Amino acid sequence: MARGKFITFEGIDGAGKTTHLDWFRTRLQDKLTSHARAVVMTREPGGTPLGETLRGILLNQPMDLETEALLMFAARREHLAQVIEPALARGDWVLSDRFSDATFAYQGGGRGLPRDKLEALERWVQGGFQPDLTVLFDVPTDTASERRSAARAPDKFESESESFFERTRHEYLRRAAESPQRFFIVDSTRPIDEIRVKLEEAIATL
């Protein structure tokens, strides 16, 4: 059976990507039903027992910036080995809430870790592996801030300043400009029905 495809959802906290994950998974499954393939939905950090343990630490515990980046990539290596690579090999498709673009955006853009260190970790952990499609939900930081304030109690990233999220958003957009063939940018300020029309367009490219 042909290799499956790997799709990621990205965006700053408050961009609204989580609102569309289940809907997108259902639409992908509809597309694949006749091919007897499944859609595996997962997330980062997380996706495995070890990854979920590290998620709790990463989202809530203060730590050195380089420690944070190393733990993100450690969780990712386990995620690739235990979930993503086996699913793709058996022909399933994988939909992940975040992947390595988030590390470049948050630890690189937001926190200021030099890009060359992240690129070295990316090469080590992923080789040349990248998603087949990355859907980037883009939204102004003030809009995202309003959405976050209406949500649950924030984790340590969600509690960051607006300037942090400006830098994070800028790095996401830089990554998208660097790999336009991989990224599909969605204006997340639009109404939900309009966003889902755009997401149908993204599915049609797969």
Residue extents of the structural domains in the chain: 6-205
According to the annotation, is 15 in a ligand binding site? yes
pLDDT for the residue numbered 31:
86
Residues 106-135 have a mean pLDDT of 97
Asked if omega into 131 is within 30° of 0 (cis), the reply is no
- Record the tokens describing residue 93, joined without a space: 């498709």
In this model, does residue 148 exceed pLDDT 90?
no
In this model, does residue 140 exceed pLDDT 80?
yes
According to the annotation, is 13 in a ligand binding site? yes
According to the annotation, is 16 in a ligand binding site? yes
According to the annotation, is 46 in a ligand binding site? no
According to the annotation, is 64 in a ligand binding site? no
In this model, does residue 151 exceed pLDDT 70?
no
According to the annotation, is 203 in a ligand binding site? no
- Under the banding of pLDDT at 50, 70 and 90, the label for residue 20 is very high
- pLDDT tens digits for range 87-96: 999 999 999 9
> Are 64 and 91 a contacting pair, CB within 8 Å?
no
According to the annotation, is 108 in a ligand binding site? no
- Percent of the chain past pLDDT 70, that is, above it, reads 98
In this model, does residue 86 exceed pLDDT 80?
yes
pLDDT for the residue numbered 35:
74
pLDDT for the residue numbered 152:
65
- Under the banding of pLDDT at 50, 70 and 90, the label for residue 51 is very high
Nearest to 101 by CA among 90, 110, 91, 92: 110
pLDDT for the residue numbered 34:
72
Residues whose CB is less than 8 angstroms from the CB of residue 6 and which lie 6 or more positions away in sequence, other chains included: 84, 88, 93, 94, 96, 131, 132, 133
The count of residues in the chain is 206
- Record the tokens describing residue 194, joined without a space: 């309009």
| Class at the top of the CATH hierarchy for domain 6-205 | alpha beta
Residues 41-51 have a mean pLDDT of 98
Q: Are strands 183-187 and 133-138 parallel, antiparallel or unpaired?
A: parallel
In this model, does residue 155 exceed pLDDT 90?
no
162 burial (CB, 10 Å; 0-12 / 13-18 / 19+) is exposed
Q: Give how far the C-alpha of residue 31 lies from the chain's centroid of Cα atoms, to the nearest Å.
A: 22
- Percent of the chain past pLDDT 90, that is, above it, reads 84
**DSSP string for residues in 23-58:** HHHHHHHHHHGGGT--EEEEESS-SSHHHHHHHHHH
pTM of the model: 0.94
> Are 171 and 109 a contacting pair, CB within 8 Å?
yes
